[in-house]
Amino acid sequence: MISNKTLKAIEYDKIVLEVAKYATLKRTKEFLINFSPVCDIVSAKFILDKTSQAYDLIYKYNVGGVYYFDDVSDELDRAEKGGTLNNVELLRVCSNLKSARLIKNSILSVNEQNLELIKNIALRLFDNLDLEDEISSKILSEDKISDSASSKLYSIRKEISNLNAKIRERLNHYIHGGLNAYLQDAVITIRQDRYVVPVKSEYRSFVKGFIHDQSSSGATVFIEPEQIVELNNELKRATLNEQAEIYRILSELSAKVGAVSSTIKFNAENIQEIDESFARAQYSYKNDCYKPILSDDGVTDIVCGRHPLIDKEKVVPVSICFGRDYNFLLITGPNTGGKTVTLKLVGLLTCMAMSGLFLPASENSKIAVFNEIYCDIGDEQSIEQNLSTFSSHVKNLINIINNVNEKSLVLIDEIGAGTDPDEGTALSLAVVKKLLSLNCFGIVTTHYSRLKEFAMETGKIENASMEFDSKSLKPLYKLNIGIPGSSNAIDIAKTLGLDESIVKDAISYLSEEKIVFERTLKRAEESRRQNEILSAELESIKRQKLLELDEIKLEKEKITKERERIYNTSKQETKRIVADKLVEAEEIIASLKKLLKQSNLESKDVFKASELRNRLANSKYLSIETDNAPLTMLKPKKEELEVGRKVYVKSLDSYAIISQVKQSKKEIEVLVGNIKTLVKIDDVFNSEIVKEPNKKVNIYKNTNRVDVALSINVIGKTSLEAVDEVQDFIDRSVVNGLSEVKIIHGVGEGVLLKSIRDYLKTDKNVLEYRKGKYGEGENGVTIVTLK
């Protein structure tokens, strides 16, 4: 188990406080605040998997949270022993039952196999809808029982209502029957659960009855008139009966609760477990966290980890790895550079993962589960124990060395600080060597150069440094593994304004080895940073070029697909049009031949032949597509290949506009609609197609004009005969250019009139029609205006 001292040092207590805010139940909040990380891999994975399944239920399957209820353990114990619960207590029990039913049904409604852990908890929940409905239907609020809670209660309350009405009616009659002069106010009130009237004190002897109260001034006495004493007595008895029946109802409900109290308690425990997982899942979602990979091999690999207590918009993500090729990291660098924050981050994220929480890091981050975490962070000087800063650190180191094993994580900040630097260095080296021999894991921060050299020479520990801008002398809060860092203390002091002479004097006290070592570190860091910047720029250019290449490939694919689509569509459409026009032309020609074989052509035949001829002439595709004449496509001359010229591209089977000529490559860029594409010059032809003259179909007709009458008489015809003759009459009139004609149909019963006018509505050659005017035949004729 990890000590509270360690958890507080890495600020774990602040995290669990945040997690608890997402819990619904009070008992869940208390549990989470006091929760300690589990220290075995099986338990840690179990809790983390429950969080993962809760995460999916909430954010993938939209399952709601836990319905709130109060802790009812005491009430259940009392009910189990035969005690009677009141309205409030029974409603709390009802909330427990309701919460269990809602969360159980909600979770089990999700048809997904990978949710067994949470589903198994839900299956353990006890839902008793009958008891829940009985409580909620009989108890309406904290102080009200439903009239329908029992038939007896209903009858009693009906009696009470009737008595109240009767008493008020009698008192109103009494007040307005001559008693008004003795009253302080003409009102009815209640004292000691009995109806009374307010009487002026000086008139108390004029009103017969019982005095129940008087005003504070003594000016008013409240008298129960003797006429309603018996009614008040009856009301009191009914009220006592009501209370007795309510108590019986509550006792009955309490007995039913007591019978299942152990199951309801079990409900609360299981709902709390679901609430815990839901709270962890919600915290993880709200803080952009991802599920880590847990292991028990000591390997920790945090990728882009963010400290959860630092604003995520400002924090610099840190990547940390140890436990695979080396057990320890030795982090060096300037003060305020982020060493301590990084140290705490490792401990905090480890404890979060061991508590079932997702991490504010990339989803492929790996966390080792340790059986204990030891740390020595900050100044723990104790006045009570008379310990100096150095002494308190030594006490911590002794405790660590005496207890660690291969399943321990050790975090030591500024090892060996607080004493003589030479002795501090020597002590630090000895402690680190001992820790390495114990095969534990961890991170140590320091400013000692000798420790940096030791990390370069030893296999189980690796140097790391917090990145520092040597020009601006500002920390960049980025961890670089494999490179030791420089403290830059003198440079920082100079930047902050320390006198130049003091700076030079300080440098003179440094050993030559120290100066060379620090200078080498600075140069190595500058070279590394320049290479990193250059690599980042090259990577950015590479990504940009790859994106551009992908866009070009996509555009090329789109052009190819569009070209194929246009070609296939136009080809199919051309075939369809040609087929339709050929069929149409064959039908027209057959009809014309049939007409020409007739010896005498009537006017309607002439009209029909004219119409057929026009249809044949209007068939605009026929002259090209059905032409049997040979086609000749001419290639343009070199000087004719100009931008803007319209050409025919054979491979595309389409016309295009030249947008660019590339003579050297023997290619032309053409625009087909809105699409640009490259084609070979040999594939381009003139847009004009040369062909032999078509064979024409000559149609002969009698051009002598046929005399057409200006009117037609259809009186005596049937409706069908009349409509046929009118139709022929209209056609002949149109052919001969008449603008207005008359149809004589008579009045009769109006059947002929209706049939003719119904037809005229549908004839496309008719502009309008009207009945005849006076002198034209009136209702017996129809005047038609032709188009």
* pLDDT tens figures, 321-335: 999 999 999 998 777
Model pLDDT for residues 27-43, shown as the tens digit of each residue: 999 999 999 999 999 99
d(C-alpha 381, C-alpha 423), whole Å: 20
Percentage of the chain lying above the pLDDT 90 cut? 42
pLDDT at 600 over 90: no
Taking a C-beta distance cutoff of 8 angstroms, is the pair 174, 225 a contact?
yes
Range with the lowest mean pLDDT among 282-296, 395-409, 713-727?
713-727
- Inter-CA distances, 497 with 67, 334, 492, 508, Å: 61, 17, 9, 19
Q: State the chain's mean pLDDT as an integer.
A: 83
DSSP string over 587-608: HHHHHHHHHHT-SS--HHHHHH
- b vs e for 667-678, b when ≥16 Cβ sit within 10 Å of the residue's Cβ? bbebebeebebe
Mean pLDDT throughout 124-131? Answer: 94
d(CA 136, CA 357): 38
pLDDT band at 471 (very low <50, low <70, confident <90, very high): low
pLDDT at 414: 87
Instruction: Kindly tell me the sign of the dihedral angle through the C-alpha atoms of 632, 635, 636, 641.
Output: positive
Rg (CA), the chain: 51
634 vs 364, which has greater pLDDT?
364
Helical H runs in 369-488?
Answer: 389-403, 421-437, 449-457
For residue 522, pLDDT beyond 80: no
Q: Which residue has the tokens 């009809």?
A: 591
The pTM assigned to this predicted structure is 0.61
Q: In whole angstroms, give the CA distance from residue 643 to residue 495.
A: 66
- Nearest CA among 255, 62, 242, 223 for reference residue 147: 242
The identity of residue 143, as a single letter, is: D
**Strands (DSSP E) along 201-309, which ranges?**
209-214, 220-225, 293-295, 300-305
Q: Residue 115: pLDDT above 90?
A: yes
Which residues lie across from 194 on neighbouring strands?
191
Q: What is the pLDDT of residues 607-626, one digit of tens each?
A: 566 566 666 655 544 443 33
Of 72, 88, 75, residue with least CA distance to 143: 88
State the average pLDDT over residues 556-569.
Answer: 75
The answer, yes or no, to whether residue 671 has pLDDT greater than 60, is: yes
pLDDT band at 386 (very low <50, low <70, confident <90, very high): very low
Round to whole Å and give the CA distance between 238 and 153.
10
Helices assigned H by DSSP within 307-356: 339-353
CB contact at 8 A, 681 and 649: no
User: Which pLDDT score, from 0 to 100, does residue 393 have?
Assistant: 84
Strand pairing class (441-445; 328-332): parallel
Task: Specify the residue for token string 């008040």.
Answer: 232
Distance (Å, rounded) from C-alpha 210 to C-alpha 228? 10
**Which ranges constitute the DSSP H helices of 109-228?**
116-123, 129-138, 151-175
For residues 402-412, average pLDDT: 95
- Tell me, what's the pLDDT at 394? 87
For residues 89 and 597, the model is more confident at 89
Contact 167, 232 (CB under 8 A): yes
The percent of the chain in helix, strand and coil, each rounded to the nearest 5, is: 50, 20, 30
Kindly report, residue by residue over 132-174, the tens digit of the pLDDT: 999 999 999 999 999 999 999 999 999 999 999 999 888 888 7
